[in-house]
Chain A
Amino acid sequence: GQQVMQIPQYQHVQEGEDFTTYCNSSTTLSNIQWYKQRPGGHPVFLIQLVKSGEVKKQKRLTFQFGEAKKNSSLHITATQTTDVGTYFCAGNSGTYKYIFGTGTRLKVLA
């Protein structure tokens, strides 16, 4: 069945450093969504990418969707302590079902 993997599993960075998480799907996706989950919290929607090669920015966050629509990345510039949490991608192949990635847990050291 369809699988969505994320790397790295964990990332510790000093405040001010950049951070990137990568998401890879075993199948071509229709669209991909990104979520952030704070410790003890629930996933919060960040953004959705639909088009091949699409790039979207939200302040310090940059999201990319690969040309083949099988991979995606989230890059955070100059991390802050408020960026702490687990970042998930969730891929959709055109049906009702979203497959969540394994997540990348980000720790930011002040």
Chain B
Amino acid sequence: ETGVTQSPTHLIKTRGQQVTLRCSSQSGHNTVSWYQQALGQGPQFIFQYYREEENGRGNFPPRFSGLQFPNYSSELNVNALELDDSALYLCASSLGGDNTDTQYFGPGTRLTVL
């Protein structure tokens, strides 16, 4: 196990609703990246947080937002849910802000939007 936890495991929402997903990073890790993985696809980078600041963002609209807390845990918020937001949401923690750090993935949250 990686020591990265995510909650909830599964979630069902309807279009237009808002959702918050949570991630606890591995002990000692100050960087968290969030990914969206649609069925049969590779993970797509949403954004990364490093020491409570957004460090970079992928091609996702502003209704995808996040936070990182002083203990380096993190939240992903998605507003105005769309059907295409149905996916596995993964967070990955890494030791520091170096691009060569190993990423340790959590088990993911499976979001279904009806």
Contact = CB atoms under 8 A, between A and B. Distances in A.
Interface residues of A, number: 26
Interface stretch (A11-19, A55-63, A68-76, A90-98): A90-98
Interface of B: 2, 33, 35, 41-45, 48, 50, 55-56, 58-59, 88, 90, 92, 97, 99-100, 102-108
A96 B31 CA distance: 10
A101 interface: yes
A43 B33 CA distance: 13
Given A44-B105, A95-B56, A100 B100 contact: no
A98 B42 contact: no
7 contacts: A30-B100, A35-B105, A42-B88, A45-B105, A97-B56, A99-B45, A100-B35
Contacts of A45: 102-105
Given A42-B105, A42-B106, A48 B41 contact: no
B105 A102 contact: no
A49 B42 CA distance: 19
A92 B56 CA distance: 13
Among A44, A88, A96, A97, the one with the most B-chain Cβ atoms within 10 Å of its Cβ is A96
Given A1-B59, A43-B43, A96 B102 contact: no
Chain A to chain B: the 5 pairs with minimum beta-carbon distance, closest first: A100-B42, A96-B56, A42-B105, A96-B48, A100-B43
